[in-house]
Structure 1
Amino acid sequence: MVRRASTMAHTPGVSAFPGGSVRPDDDDLDIPILGPSADVWAWRLNEEEEMAHRMLLAAAREVFEESGVLLARGNYVSLECEEWEDERREVEAHRLDFGDMLREHSLALDFRSVAFRGMWTTPDYSPRRYAVAFFTALLPEGQNPVLASSEATRAAWDTPAGHLARAERGEITLVAPTRVNLEELAAASSLDEALESVTRHVKFVPTQRASGEFVLRWET
């Protein structure tokens, strides 16, 4: 997990999973994705196939930008070499298209060990409205996450229970979607269970009642 920089417009200073928004250049539909078919991802995400593809491409790009982890399959030798770090910085700075980088190295995105966990939407009263898709991924063999992004000031690699314990001690701050996902992962009895995708599209919407009480509404 990374601690978002204090300069970020949304939730500055909180600890969060690597991620971000879909960019206009996340539209390279020619990049192959290993794993479930396009129509399966579209059903899980409740999106058209083209948008589902863009969301997966954006997720892989953001993970690469913020942690140096590349969810791809191909003939790259080592992500620890200087060339890969140079390219990661270029992708983060929008000077290199992520799809072009994958194509140059003959890589395909590898989502065979990636699970969709659900969609969270900002509350109705929030000045910024958007939906966030959460995924769980198995760390590719031979790769090690690092603090890579300029959008974060700190990174920590720990178990879900470890992150929750740090939050209870006041060492880190978690927003509700992050906390719930960590709690679900901590409750998983096996790696396979942690990597299970939700069987239906669920959208969680934090809602404030007239009494001032906050509740969690979900839609399917």
Structure 2
Amino acid sequence: MRLPEELTLPDGMIPEETTDPPVTPRDAATVVLLRDGPTGPEAFLQRRVRGMPFAGGMTAFPGGGVDPRDEEASIAWNGPEPEHWARRLGCGTDLARALVCAAVRETFEEAGVLLAGESPDHVVTDTERYDAERHALVSKELSLAGMLRSHGLVLRADLLVPWSNWVTPEMEPRRYDTRFFVTTVPEGQRADARTGEAAEAYWRTPEDALADWRAGHNGLLPPTWVTLSELAEHEDVAGALRAERSIDKVVPKIVRQDGAWRVVLPEPPDRES
């Protein structure tokens, strides 16, 4: 997929001096929450607070870096085992477990959606009773494993679908190796904007979110723009969740062209070779 000519990066986002050697990316997870709307699937988007060290003011999906405690093996787990996720995500088993747990934790911290239940086939419907735990997770006073254990909850890894893998360009001072997941909001739950990292949050169809970008109403980084464009190809949430995708690591480059900073995507791998 080629990025449009209009998709440029703000000058203030690009460092005046690059780091040599490049900074090692931090592992992270991003989750695209989906729901079916009147005209097709809608995605939950957040406009990040301006002044944040990474992607301040940009519109993005919930997500964040892996916490070392996300690797805790004591978490009650339903769905494909970490070995399966390791094969799908192209990483080791411990990291695969941590990425799935980070996806669940960040989704709860930033959007109030909890992918867990009291049994392997159950998902909680009332997440407000876990408000204190949500704040404790944000402040790192509590781990996801500790929260789930204390309430007898099972992590629902089966509700997550891997989507893509993006790595921040080498010239950036803050770099992330981010696995993107998609899921749907469980019945009875509601995504909210009660996070200190977002100035606002809302639902948009991918087409409308891209139209907002073209009109200058939001700022999108390339991974968000590409993900929205891919989701726009699906008629409903079920279709997006069934999509067969290869999770290839995408490492863009940043170049200066025509007086603007542009992102160049690598050529896709040759599947027949």
TM-score normalized with structure 2 length: 0.74
Contact kept in structure 2, 1:22 and 1:58, CA below 8 Å:
yes
Supply the distance in 1 between the matched residues of 2:156 and 2:66 (Cα, whole angstroms). Answer: 18
Contact kept in structure 2, 1:65 and 1:88, CA below 8 Å:
yes
- Give the corresponding residue for 2:56: 12
Higher relative contact order (CA 8 A, sep 6+): 2
Contact kept in structure 1, 2:82 and 2:96, CA below 8 Å:
yes
Supply the distance in 1 between the matched residues of 2:256 and 2:186 (Cα, whole angstroms). Answer: 47
- Give the corresponding residue for 1:59: 103
Supply the distance in 2 between the matched residues of 1:153 and 1:181 (Cα, whole angstroms). Answer: 21
Cα distance change of structure 1 residues 218 and 68 upon mapping to structure 2, 3 Å threshold = farther
Structure of higher CA gyration radius: 2
Counterpart of 1:154 (choices 176, 179, 200) is 200
Deviation (angstroms), 1:128 = 2.6
Contact kept in structure 2, 1:113 and 1:137, CA below 8 Å:
yes
Supply the distance in 1 between the matched residues of 2:242 and 2:184 (Cα, whole angstroms). Answer: 11
Counterpart of 1:157 in 2: which secondary structure?
strand
Counterpart of 1:34 (choices 54, 70, 78) is 78
Cα distance change of structure 1 residues 218 and 126 upon mapping to structure 2, 3 Å threshold = farther
Supply the distance in 1 between the matched residues of 2:187 and 2:108 (Cα, whole angstroms). Answer: 15
Contact kept in structure 1, 2:108 and 2:114, CA below 8 Å:
yes
Counterpart of 1:135 (choices 181, 190, 211) is 181
Unpaired runs of 5+ in structure 1? none
Contact kept in structure 1, 2:163 and 2:245, CA below 8 Å:
no
Unpaired runs of 5+ in structure 2? 1-44
Deviation (angstroms), 1:99 = 1.2
* 1:138-195 Cα distance to aligned partner (Å, 9 max, x none): 1111100001211111111222222222222211111010010011011113433311
Supply the distance in 2 between the matched residues of 1:196 and 1:118 (Cα, whole angstroms). Answer: 14
Contact kept in structure 2, 1:123 and 1:129, CA below 8 Å:
yes
What amino acid is the match of 2:46? V
* 1:100-132 Cα distance to aligned partner (Å, 9 max, x none): 111111111112232111100111222233211
Query: Identity over aligned residues, as a percent?
Result: 36
Deviates more, 1:149-158 or 1:172-181: 149-158
Supply the distance in 1 between the matched residues of 2:255 and 2:60 (Cα, whole angstroms). Answer: 27
Larger proportion of strand: 2
- Give the corresponding residue for 2:147: 101
Counterpart of 2:265 (choices 196, 207, 216) is 216
TM-score normalized with structure 1 length: 0.90
Deviation (angstroms), 1:214 = 4.0
- Give the corresponding residue for 1:207: 253
Counterpart of 1:24 (choices 68, 81, 97) is 68
RMSD (CA atoms): 2.1
Counterpart of 2:227 (choices 181, 194, 199) is 181
